[in-house]
Amino acid sequence: MNSPVLMTDPDIRKLLSVIDDPRDQAMVVLVLSTGLFLAELIALDVTSVNFGDKTLSIEGKRKRTVPLTDSAITALNEYLEVRPKTPEIALFVTERGIPKRLSDRSIDHAIRTASKAADLTVSYHDLRNTFIARLLKKTDIKDAAKRLGIDRETLERFRPMSDVQVPMSSEQDPLDTRSSLRKLIDTVNPPDTSTAFNDVGHRTQDVGQVATATFGRDPIIKKTTDLVMNTQSVLFTGPTGIGKTHLLKTVATTIPNAMFIDSPVPFKTLLLEIAEGICPSTTFTQRTPSPEILDTILSAEILVPPVIIIDNLDRLKTSEEDAIKTIIDRFPVIAAMEKLPTRLKSVGWKFKEIELPPLDKTAVQAMITVFTQGHSMNPKDYKHLETKILNLANGNPLAVVELINQLPESKKVTVEHIRKIDHEAGIVYRDWSWMLMGLWMLLVISRFVALGTHSFEGYILAGIGTTVFVFFKYLVKLKRG
């Protein structure tokens, strides 16, 4: 097992000095000042931060409230000034394309890229280990365990790390990257953080209600909980936009000791996240062989087995089938995918499949009410809006959200605005590429056959067919462009 990498004050300053992106700066400062698990950092929402109390609310199996340092408050405030305006409630979002919650791979890549630029070799786990080692040097183990959301016995395994001689500078907080002038100004006139989230997405007064609402899925949540409590794994299936991911995240907050993983790819990252949740004292890295990580997971002595929640299970590679089956045999798993592919049938047999149906009329009406209120809307013809969304969405939750997001953030939503809304959420387009390629090959072959058999009429017909095909293909390309 690799020895933990613990950062010195100069290392921390060097790492922060090469990070230009306020988002990545905020993530690194947050980890080094709170010791959050990777899954906890990913799951943070805009409502998780309380600037007034200088605290951070952590949900999930280690639900707790942790204090925020001035450095973390400053870094978060600077990030929020440039954060994309989006309905997405995740705190840390992607910066290209449609903003969405950052994945574990994106966070790991950002940290490793900065580490390389700073001529260091540190990972997310190293940042967290650094915080834990420093925390144990200045507080008792009971308070440290409470702050980290783990038990004292688990934290005892970190004691050897706290005994490692890490040069602790007597200078000011190494996470505080402000200039001397900026510090002086902030001391005289503290920055106002009370409006930090006012421009995040649409109006956020009801964003917490929207994020946690289940809209007609309560019976499925209860059924899933009952099955999992009886150690039966569950698989949600259904088309794009039907609410599989939202349901997984909701279930993760209702089932004790649950851990959410957004993808089984890369598989080693999945194993690392499970190992981190089950054996927090492990110091595995991406270089650790997968069999070694898997053996540790399967041999761990656990009083209460965790419930492992995996989204997008259909991305699983065939080569990882046997490994995921051993995990399912050891722990209850809740997973989601559009439909079970033939190549994963042997994995699918280990689940109780629940196909998510479209929302009924009552649930859709509830969604419309909550979202329009959350956007501070007061349509002049609410009934018209409700009827149009009911007809267009066809019970697809993503379609409902997409339709409402097309309306202006204004109390003056007119009938004309309602008429223009439309959506493509959940629509699956068929790929005709192979059929067109086959038709093209038949036309070319028929020309050579006609030429070889001296069939002048066949050659002309094949030539006309090829011309029509090329013209049709050009029209399709022109229309798409």
Is the pLDDT at 165 greater than 60, yes or no? no
Indicate the pLDDT class of residue 429, thresholds 50, 70 and 90.
very low
pLDDT number for residue 191: 58
Mean pLDDT, the chain, integer? 80
First and final CA of the chain: distance in angstroms?
A: 54
Q: Compute the distance between CA of residue 227 and CA of residue 239 in angstroms, rounded to an integer.
A: 23
Distances 302 to 45, 259, 276, 305 between C-alpha atoms, Å: 30, 15, 13, 6
Of 474 and 113, more confident: 113
How many residues make up the chain in this entry? 481
Average pLDDT for 27-51: 91
pLDDT number for residue 353: 95
pLDDT number for residue 359: 93
Q: pLDDT digits over 351-375, tens only?
A: 999 999 999 999 999 888 888 776 6
Query: Percent of the chain, pLDDT > 70?
Result: 80
Average pLDDT for 87-110: 83
Poorest-confidence range of 31-35, 198-202, 244-248? 198-202
Poorest-confidence range of 50-59, 73-82, 131-140, 191-200? 191-200
Is the pLDDT at 222 greater than 50, yes or no? yes
Poorest-confidence range of 76-85, 115-124, 351-360, 436-445? 436-445
pLDDT number for residue 187: 59
Indicate the pLDDT class of residue 474, thresholds 50, 70 and 90.
low
Indicate the pLDDT class of residue 207, thresholds 50, 70 and 90.
very low
Poorest-confidence range of 77-86, 225-234, 266-275, 320-329? 77-86
Is the pLDDT at 46 greater than 70, yes or no? yes
Is the pLDDT at 444 greater than 70, yes or no? yes
* Contact in structure between 253 and 60 (CB atoms under 8 Å): yes
Q: Compute the distance between CA of residue 55 and CA of residue 59 in angstroms, rounded to an integer.
A: 13
pLDDT number for residue 296: 92
DSSP result, 382-406 = HHHHHHHHHHHHTT-HHHHHHHHHT
Indicate the pLDDT class of residue 418, thresholds 50, 70 and 90.
confident
pLDDT number for residue 78: 87
Poorest-confidence range of 97-101, 392-396, 398-402? 97-101
Of 418 and 474, more confident: 418
Strands 64-67 and 351-355: unpaired
Q: pLDDT digits over 175-201, tens only?
A: 776 655 555 555 555 655 544 554 444
